[in-house]
Amino acid sequence: MTEAPEAKPIDETPKFEWAIVEIFGHRRHAGRTIEEERFGAKMLRIDVPVKGNPEQFGWQTFYYGGASIFSFVLTDEQSVMTVNKPYEPPSRQYLEDRTASRKDFEYPDDNEYED
């Protein structure tokens, strides 16, 4: 008798790819992408990290048909998070508190400068 081949467990986790996608050349999304079947057609699903921090703000999901994709560039996770991070203005430089340093300053004796 022959034994039936051992069934391999099916991996149910989706295989996402990190990418930057341009739609019709007018919209650009950076996120994790996967091909899904929706409404009887294959579509691109792209999950965009909100404010570049998905742990805190979550993901925003977009679906696009294949004909609407203008460009598809594979990238890494760090690049995707950087692209989606909101603009932060350059920090301002502040002078340190001068009142604290005056207390520690030792004034010279008046007698040192007498002739």
Residues near 48 by beta carbon (within 8 Å), at least 6 away in sequence: 29, 30, 31, 59, 60, 61, 62, 84
In a domain, 78, yes or no: yes
Specify the pLDDT at position 83.
92
Residue 48 pLDDT > 60, yes or no?
Answer: yes
- Residue 110: pLDDT band by 50, 70, 90 thresholds? low
* DSSP letter string, 3-66: PPPPPPPP--S---EEEEEEETTTEEEEEEEEEEEETTEEEEEEEEEGGG-HHHH-EEEEEEEG
The total number of structural domains that make up the chain: 1
Specify the pLDDT at position 26.
87
Enclosing domain of residue 70: 17-86
Mean of pLDDT values over 53-73: 93
In a domain, 35, yes or no: yes
Residue 112 token pair = 């040192």
Mean of pLDDT values over 72-101: 79
What is the Cα–Cα distance from 16 to 35, expressed in whole angstroms?
9
Q: How far is CA 54 from the centre of its chain?
A: 8
In a domain, 21, yes or no: yes
Kind plus residue range of the DSSP H or E element containing 84: helix 77-84
Specify the pLDDT at position 86.
87
In a domain, 92, yes or no: no
